[in-house]
Structures are given as structure tokens and as C-alpha cells.
Chain A
Amino acid sequence: MTPVEPILKPQIVSAFDVERIRADFPILKLKVDGKPLIYLDSAASGQMPQSVIDRLVRYQTTQHANIHRAVHYLSEIATAEFEGARRKLQHFINAREDREVIFTSGTTDAINLVMHGYGRKFIGAGDEIILTTLEHHSNIVPWQMLAEEKGAKIRVVPINDAGELLLDEYEQLFNEHTRFVGVMHVSNALGSINPIKQMIAFAHARGVPVLIDGAQAVPHMKIDVQDLDCDFYAFSGHKMCGPTGIGILYGKADLLEQMQPFKGGGDMILSVTFEKTIYNTIPQKFEAGTPPIVAAIGFGAAVDYLSEIGMEAIATHELALLNYATEQICRIPGVRIIGTASLKTAVLSFVVDGVHPHDIGTLLNQEGIAVRTGHHCAQPVMQYLKIPATSRASFAFYNNMAEVDTLVAGIRTAQNVFV
């Protein structure tokens, strides 16, 4: 076997230097209609640094073959790099073992895996699943499908006007029928950071396993799945400097072993006859077919990059961005921030009096500013807040304060169009 490449050592100084970091991202040099791109849509998908782009090219140029199959040189290299990426992800979230880290196509795929692999086996008629009002559609719809199939029931944790989960109500939802909890770590629409550690402990005290949708958390803070003690934790590569089409389901080994496979095919079997198929062990049991090898290796390079900068440094810079942007946007008359939880990531959802979010989005685009407008795949949140949609500026560690100023000026310009 060829050894896994050593962790890259880019020249990043200990003090957080945002301009130096911005230079790592070629797309940030782009101009939109002659104006510098201001990318404030990282909650939808993040941008990729040159080191990750280079890693994808290097793999495809010199290392590609199918994995876990042939005995030839390239297959061994590709397999080693792919499994090396799994270990990088394992260490990044502090999973106990690498076999607890399953490659999926993304967070949605990971949640669907748990629904099919765990839910369809262990949740039945009359059983209850607890979700929250904040959930992204990807952590609602799979459970609705399961509930419909099995005759199970979904209970929903309410929120307050700030966009915080009501913990008392959460605790009161538990009863003898409760079989599963699904909750997002960080709200994609509002940025609220949910008290998942406390929620997990409460559920475990009642013997109920918990799935965390971590898509919006892993890119912004240090995650330790052992400290959280979650049973499942799902996240995506493309929101954290990696490619699209790759994500992770972390699961505790004993639970993963009890689960049934989600997809059948090659790589997830030990032997196949028409009479009986013996499934492979975890994680391969859940990785049928040829995986996105290059994307997995790129994901590994992405967490190398993030680790070099340091998740604490990233969180500190993003909090400064959030505080500055919140303060500046609050000063604009007629603009209201949606989502004011006491603990937030750098997500600013807002509405402007008399101007529909879609018009804000188009007018900001005219200034080179990319924001998301709409319901953010979280319609229950919008229904609770009685708004059809918001504009959402979501920041990453490669954004700077000057971009906040441009956003604020852009909102004022949009308001002036509608005066």
C-alpha cells in the first residue's frame, strides 16, 4: 500500500489574516457585471480554496482508479487516498473509529440513510419521532415518508420569535412512544445554534437516539461527536470548502451495525448468490457502488485546509462579522433582522419594508452581491414567523468587514429604487 499523503502545510500564520485567506480562493477575484463579487451565500454552498482544487486535479491526473477492487498500482493508491480521507474526516469530528464515518452524497443522503437503515427497521406503528420547527426540509420529508409508511407520528418542537427552540416544550414531547429525535445543530434560515448537547442528554436518559443535521455547524465551529454523544451526525462537503456530491454520516458503530443497508449493490456485500447475499461490515455496508472518490479526497483536503486555519480562529472571525453586520443592518430604517437567537452563526436573514426579498436579491446582484432569497427550504419556520420569504446574507471566514459595508450600501440602494 502506498502511504497516505502527509497533511499539507500551507503557510498560514497563527493570527487570523482574512486578506491572506481570501487570496486562497480564486473565485473571490471574480467580477459580476464589472463589480467585485461579494459572496454572501456560503450557507447554501461555500467556495473552494486553491489547495482543494489542486488536490482534485492531482488525484484525477495521477491517482485515479476504482477503489476496493483491483490489485493494480492505481487502485491501491486511490483506495489508500480514499480511506485516508475517511480518517481525516474521522479526526476532524473526533469520531472514535474510522468505520463510524460513512461517505454519502451529502447531508440529505445521510439523513435518508438513517431513515431507511434505522427508521424502517426500528420505528413502527404508533411510535413517535420528535423534530423541530427549525428543520430544513431534508430533515422533515424523509421522516414524513417513514411516518406515512409505518403509521408513526411526528411531534414538533416549537420556537420563540427569536428563532430559539423551546426546551421545556421539547422535554414535554417525550412519552413512552418516543423512538427518535432529529434536530439541526444550526438553523440554515436563521443561524440559531441549538442546545443539542442538552437535548441529546435528555433523549438518552429516556433511551431515545438522536440524529443531528450538522450541515450548517461543521463549517463554522469545532465539532466533537464523542463529546456531544450524538448517535448520528450528518454534514456536507460543499458547505466547508469541499466539492459537491460528498457528505458524511457519522454513526455510533453499534447502531450502524444493527441497521439494515439503504442501497444494494457492489462494495456493500461480502458474497452474493441468488439464494443469499452476505452484507459487508460497516462502513462499506452503506457505501454501495463506486463512490465519488475524487470528491471524498477533495473533502479530505478541505478539512486539512480548515484545520490549518483552525476552527476556533474561524469561529472568532465569523462572530466578529456577525456582530458588525447585525449592528450595521439594524441601523437601516425599515430593515428587520429575522432570527435573533442569543447564540448564532454568521447568518443574517432580513426583510425590508415594502420590498419583496426577490427584488432585494436581484438589486443586490446588480451590485455584485450574492445573497439567497426565498424560504431557504425551511417553510415551517417561515410559516411560524408569518413571512413568505427572507433575504439571507450568510458569511464565511473568507468574508471581510468591507463586504458588510457593501451589503449595507446595497440594501440602501435597493430601498431607494422603491421609494
Chain B
Amino acid sequence: MNTKSLYQEVILDHNRKPRNYGILDNASHHAVGHNPLCGDRLDIALNLSGEHINHIAFHGESCAICKASASMMTAAVKGKTRADAEILIQEFRDMALGKLNLDGHHHLGRLTVFAGVRDLPTRVKCAILPWHTLHAALNSVTTTSTEVTDDSMHAPVDSAS
């Protein structure tokens, strides 16, 4: 694929000025996501009020694709219900893995700028890590990893020297 279409202005902008970046005090739900293959680490904290995500924040060390994905994700799920967030998580994962029909019905909106990662298998995990971590936070799993094997997002990544 043409990787230029992945590094679109909206992704570069969210990388430069990530939304909801920082630490959330008194979070009701929290998880840390790791990608052991590249050392990326993402911390996501949120406050649920009833079923609604009232506040959400993230911080960590990661590449531009991961950081922009986290930034756009937090903006997308803020104010949504837990159930709506889970739908977005599923749709985003399916899109990144090339399993979502982008022309069909979905709720991703501008998040489709990440559709290009499906052609870059080694970058799929970068885009998915925030969503994987959000899923863990919503389900009260405090640490997670892109290498959790029972997860559909798992995709092999080369680790040769």
C-alpha cells in the first residue's frame, strides 16, 4: 500500500497534539497495555458514571500510529456508554485486521483513517494497542499485552534479530 495514506494529516496532528493525554486522578477503571515486541507501553484510565465514560486519559511511550490511535479513541469514546465503546473496539479491531467492510454499516467515522494498517501487518498492533487496553480497562483487567494469545487481535510479528 501507499504508506503516505497512513500518515495522514489527522494522524500526524493527533500525534503532535494528543487529546486527553495525561493522568486521571481517582480513575474507576485503569489498564496498562504493552507491546513487548517494540517496547511500547500505554496507560489508560477512565471514570465510569453509571454506564457512561465520563472521563478518560492516556499516557505512555509509543509510535505515532499508536499515539494518534489512542488520542482519537479517547475522543471517540468519551461520553459514550460502555456498550457503545465495546462496539467501537470490535469494529476498530476488525478494520485493522482487514475484516471490516468499510462500505457497510459501522460507527468508526474518522477512525477509518487507520484502515491502511491492514496492509502493514507489523503495524497493526501499534494501532490496536490502545483499543486492546481500553477493552482491558473496561473489563477491570489491569495489565494486558498485544501478545495475549486468546485474543482475536493477536497477529504474528517477526522478531528475528
A to B contact number (C-beta, < 8 Å)? 64
Interface residues of A in 331-388 (CB under 8 A from B): 355-359, 362-363, 365-366, 373-379, 382, 388
B38: contacting residue among A43, A358, A378, CB under 8 A: A358
For residue A374, which residues in chain B have a CB less than 8 angstroms away from its CB?
Answer: 37-39, 159
A357 to B38, CA, bound (A): 9
Contact A418 B161 (CB under 8 A): no
Interface size bucket, A side? Answer: 20 to 34
Contact A45 B12 (CB under 8 A): no
Interface residues of B in 50-86 (CB under 8 A from A): 61-65
A355 to B159, CA, bound (A): 21
Q: List 19 A-B contacts (CB under 8 A).
A: A43-B161, A44-B161, A136-B161, A138-B161, A188-B161, A355-B64, A356-B63, A362-B65, A362-B123, A363-B7, A366-B3, A366-B4, A373-B38, A374-B38, A375-B38, A377-B159, A378-B161, A379-B39, A418-B64
| Binary A-proximity of B100-117 (CB < 8 A = 1, otherwise 0) | 000000000000000000
A136-B161, A377-B161, A389-B38 known; A358-B3 Cβ under 8 A: no
For residue B37, which residues in chain A have a CB less than 8 angstroms away from its CB?
Answer: 374
Q: Which residue of B lies closest to A45 (CB)?
A: B160
B63: contacting residue among A188, A358, A375, CB under 8 A: A358
A residues apposed to B, CB below 8 Å? 33, 43-45, 136, 138, 188, 215, 355-359, 362-363, 365-366, 373-379, 382, 388-389, 417-418
Contact B63 A359 (CB under 8 A): yes
Q: Which residue of B lies closest to A358 (CB)?
A: B63
Can you add 19 more A-B contacts, CB < 8 Å, to A356-B63, A359-B63, A388-B39? A44-B160, A44-B161, A357-B63, A358-B38, A358-B123, A359-B7, A359-B65, A362-B65, A366-B4, A374-B38, A375-B38, A377-B159, A377-B160, A388-B40, A389-B38, A417-B7, A417-B12, A418-B15, A418-B64
A382: contacting residue among B39, B65, B159, CB under 8 A: B39
Contact A389 B39 (CB under 8 A): yes
Interface size bucket, B side? Answer: 20 to 34
For residue B161, which residues in chain A have a CB less than 8 angstroms away from its CB?
Answer: 43-44, 136, 138, 188, 215, 376-378
A374 to B39, CA, bound (A): 8
For residue A417, which residues in chain B have a CB less than 8 angstroms away from its CB?
Answer: 7, 12
For residue B148, which residues in chain A have a CB less than 8 angstroms away from its CB?
Answer: none
Contact A388 B38 (CB under 8 A): yes
B152 within 8 A of A: no
Query: Nearest Cβ in chain A — how far from B6, in angstroms?
Result: 7
Contact B62 A356 (CB under 8 A): yes
B2 within 8 A of A: yes
Q: Which residue of A lies closest to B4 (CB)?
A: A366
For residue A355, which residues in chain B have a CB less than 8 angstroms away from its CB?
Answer: 64
Contact B160 A359 (CB under 8 A): no
Q: Which residue of A lies closest to B1 (CB)?
A: A33
For residue A357, which residues in chain B have a CB less than 8 angstroms away from its CB?
Answer: 38, 63
Q: Which residue of B lies closest to A238 (CB)?
A: B160
Query: Nearest Cβ in chain B — how far from A395, in angstroms?
Result: 15
A138 to B159, CA, bound (A): 12
B97 within 8 A of A: no
Q: Which residue of B lies closest to A392 (CB)?
A: B161
B141 within 8 A of A: no
A355 to B16, CA, bound (A): 10
A417 to B63, CA, bound (A): 14
A377 to B36, CA, bound (A): 11
Query: Nearest Cβ in chain A — how far from B113, in angstroms?
Result: 15
A388 to B36, CA, bound (A): 10
For residue A389, which residues in chain B have a CB less than 8 angstroms away from its CB?
Answer: 38-39
Query: Nearest Cβ in chain A — how far from B7, in angstroms?
Result: 6
B126 within 8 A of A: yes
For residue A44, which residues in chain B have a CB less than 8 angstroms away from its CB?
Answer: 160-161
A362: contacting residue among B6, B12, B61, B159, CB under 8 A: B6
B120 within 8 A of A: yes
Interface residues of B in 114-161 (CB under 8 A from A): 120, 122-123, 126, 159-161
Query: Nearest Cβ in chain B — how far from A389, in angstroms?
Result: 5
Query: Nearest Cβ in chain A — how far from B155, in angstroms?
Result: 15
For residue B126, which residues in chain A have a CB less than 8 angstroms away from its CB?
Answer: 358
